[in-house]
Amino acid sequence: MAEARAERRLAAILATDVVGYSRLMGSDEEGTLAALKSLRKSLIDPKIAEYRGRIFKTTGDGALVEFASTVDAVRCAIDIQRAMPERNADTPPGRKIEFRIGINVGDIIVDGDDIFGDGVNVAARLESISEPGGICISDVVHQQVSGRVEALFADLGDQNLKNITRPVRAYRVALKEAREEPAAASTPTLAAFASPDKPSIAVLPFQNMSGDSEQDYFCDGLVEDIITTLSKLAGLRVIARNSSFVYKGRAVDIREAAKQLGVRYVLEGSVRKSGNRIRITAQLIDAKDGAHLWAERYDRTMDEIFAIQDEITLVLATEMQVKLIEGEQARLHYTTTNNVEAWTYWVQGMSHFHQAVSKEKMGAARIYWEKALALDPASAALNAMLGFIHCLDARFGWWDDHETAMDKARAYSAKALEIDPDNAEAHTASSLILLMQRRYDEAVTDARKAIQLAPGSALAADLASFVFVPSGYPEEGVLQSEKAIALSPHYPPSYLGTLGNAYRLAGRTEQAIATFKAYHARNPGFGLTDLVIIYQQIGQADEARRTVELLMAARPNFTIGGWLKTQFIRRDTAQVEADREALRAAGLPMG
């Protein structure tokens, strides 16, 4: 007798579960079960029915759902996740219910009302790597829904999922904001940033062939300008300087570096400077197969350094087939200054600027940039960065009193915008100054303009998040912080502080805790203040007190008053007062 053939079919599988279910049940078993039952009745089940799905398996905190349409599965997930913040609006942080969702399309085996197979298993594993409140989809799902649903997609690359033999390429669904804001219409988003069709490049430090270590700053400045110019192109993903420069002075395997940085193309080169003569070699490599797509040697005088930069960036855009949008052709000719001596001071200042946010390093950068500006007062970039430096001084009190520093910051920033209204650095500096003045809406407008003009700049994205969060746009801050980190795989620890704050004020408590712990791990003592606030506010007083002990051990002179002086005052003053009270209740000194 012939063996019965198993019934198989293609289906979209949605897997979901509750974040922190065991903790929620341990804290309030009956309340958690009642809340879940209410959510299923009022939201989950109706949405599944609306999109013609079928629940084929449930657990205490999750479900597996089958859809005939991949588009329906993703739309259902989006509707559910968009509805959850409103459902949690009046719920204390430690009691909020959040879902993770994973979606896959695959061949399934049908056994009565149940379903089995690799397609189901992959969906469940994608759910496990999703962020709280998020949706993670497989590559095949992305291919079927891209352009058909109202969402943005961030490429997470190949993921090694538990008990799945092959890597699975995954995408995070970044939901658009529910509110409509005219000022945000032109704001760059992860849609362009994460497109798998967008070329990506890392510009590695050029080798100094001069035999003079003092010329390192010259080589680094050349690469810096190339990276800055490329970061202004929306159709290109360029890795930030602080990530590509980890390879400085090292023998580099191009393919391995490209893999670590997540890029397709790598530019490498060398510089030999002797007197007024320079020799620059550059080559563009396709890391996919190691092929050299383009190589050139420039034997020129120092006066032609800017022409060389223009040629290199134009060739790179052409060779990588970057699609230029209106206005970007002009951005390929961006330079800080056309004065060679001023440019030399500029790059020396940048060598200090990139080392640390400290009085000593920023002071050295300021001196070099003031010398550069004296030679070229019409440089928008120099004025902008001096405005940024004095804004930092106003915050940290390094040289001048607060008002004097603010006056200088405003004057430099205004001059930069007068010289070039489309200078991204000027809009970034202006946004921070406006934030310090509590002119939140204007600050947000300038920050959005900065990331529009420099869509590939990790620094612009990180500082935009810094502005968005206290101004009342934490979800927009999350997107920009995540973008900054993606653009800079070897990101500075401070990026974690910005991201953690965005998560916290967006109500993503578990992600905030994990991020601040990572911040402390990389920069001991930092992130602990925020952890104290979170633990105290979600009712984990013992954990808050343990964190206070860690904080005081790392920073014995810490006081709440001192901490508040360095914080940008948020639009939500009630939240600021709640944070202050949480720190006081946890036992930290007022100061």
The one-digit pLDDT tens for each residue of the chain (591 residues) are 445 556 778 889 999 999 888 878 887 888 888 889 989 999 999 999 999 999 988 877 789 999 999 999 999 999 999 899 888 887 776 678 889 999 999 878 877 667 788 888 899 999 988 888 889 999 889 888 876 787 777 767 677 787 787 888 888 887 643 332 322 222 233 333 334 457 888 899 888 887 776 678 788 888 888 888 888 887 788 888 888 888 887 777 888 888 888 888 898 888 888 888 888 898 888 888 888 888 888 888 888 888 888 788 877 877 777 665 555 555 555 677 888 888 888 888 888 888 777 888 889 999 999 999 999 999 999 999 999 999 999 888 899 998 999 999 999 999 999 999 988 999 999 999 999 999 999 999 999 999 988 888 889 999 999 999 999 898 899 989 988 988 888 888 889 999 999 999 988 888 899 899 888 888 888 899 999 999 999 999 999 999 999 889 888 888 988 888 777 677 777 888 888 899 999 898 887
DSSP 225: H
For tokens 């860690």, name the residue: 550
Last residue of a domain, one of 454, 481, 501: 454
CA distance 342 to 381: 12
| Phi, then psi, of 109 in degrees rounded to 5 | -105, 130
523 domain residue, yes or no = yes
> At CA 17, angle to CA 43 and CA 161, rounded to 5?
140
Question: Is residue 491 located within the same domain as residue 560?
Answer: yes
Residue 411, CA distances (Å) to 415, 458, 485 in order: 6, 25, 31
Tokens 């997470």 locate to 156
Distance of CA 564 to CAs 271, 396, 584, Å? 47, 11, 12
Given a contact cutoff of 8 angstroms between Cβ atoms, the answer to whether 140 and 102 are in contact is no
In-domain check, residue 183: no
Same domain, 311 and 352: no
How far is Cα 196 from Cα 547, in angstroms, rounded to an integer?
A: 41
Return the DSSP state at 59. -
Tell me, yes or no, whether 185 lies in a domain: no
Q: CATH code at 541?
A: 1.25.40.10
The reply to whether 94 and 234 lie within a common domain is no
Q: Which of 26, 227, 21, 258 is nearest to 127 (CA)?
A: 21
Residue 285 and residue 427 share a domain: no
Residues 18 and 158 in one domain: yes
The answer to whether the CB of 580 falls within 8 A of the CB of 560 is yes
* Residues 422, 550 within the same domain: no
Residues 284 and 305 in one domain: yes
How is residue 303 annotated by DSSP?
Answer: G
- Structural domain range at position 316: 200-331
Residue found by looking up tokens 């980890």 in the block: 246
DSSP 390-427: HHHHHHH-SSS-HHHHHHHHHHHHHHHHHH-TT-HHHH
The 10 Å Cβ neighbour count of residue 197 is: 6
Which one, of 44, 137, 152, lies nearest residue 97 by Cα?
A: 44
Q: Please report where in the chains the tokens 């930290």 appear, as a residue.
A: 588
379: which 2 tokens?
């440089």
Q: Choose the final residue of a domain: 331, 358, 391.
A: 331
Task: State residue 123's pLDDT score.
Answer: 93
H or E element: which one contains 105? strand 99-111
Q: What is the pLDDT of residue 5?
A: 57
139 lies in some domain? yes
Question: What angle in degrees, to the nearest 10, is found between the helix axes of 494-505 and 509-522?
Answer: 160
Contact 97, 88 (CB under 8 A): yes
Give every CB contact of residue 95 below 8 A, 6+ residues apart in sequence.
Answer: 24, 27, 28, 31
Burial of residue 71 (CB within 10 Å: 0-12, 13-18, 19+) is: middle
Write phi, then psi, for 110 (nearest 5 degrees). Answer: -100, 130
Decide if 64 is inside a domain: yes
173 φψ region: left (φ > 0), alpha (ψ -120 to 50), beta (else): beta
Question: Residue 192 domain-assigned?
Answer: no
Whole-angstrom Cα distance, residue 395 to residue 409?
11
pLDDT at residue 568, rounded to an integer: 66
Question: Does residue 432 share a domain with residue 562?
Answer: no
User: What's the pLDDT at 193?
Assistant: 38
- Give the CATH number for residue 81: 3.30.70.1230
Question: How many folded domains does the chain comprise?
Answer: 4
Q: 99: how many CB neighbours lie within 10 A of its CB?
A: 23
Q: What is the dihedral of CA 49, 53, 57, 63, to 10 degrees?
A: -70
The pLDDT score that the predictor gives to residue 177 is 39
Which CATH number fits the domain that encloses residue 239?
3.40.50.10610
Residues 255 and 346 in one domain: no
Same domain, yes or no, for 438 and 557?
no
Q: 189 in a domain, yes or no?
A: no
End residue of a domain, out of 331, 354, 386 = 331
Domain check: are 25 and 172 in the same one?
Answer: yes
Question: Which residues lie closer than 8 Å to 151 by C-beta, 6 or more apart?
Answer: 74, 78, 145, 173, 174, 175, 176
Q: Are 420 and 512 members of one domain?
A: no
Closest among 110, 109, 169 to 137, alpha carbons compared: 169
Look at residue 215 and tell me if it is in a domain. yes
Distances (CA, A) of 459 to 39, 465, 494: 40, 10, 11
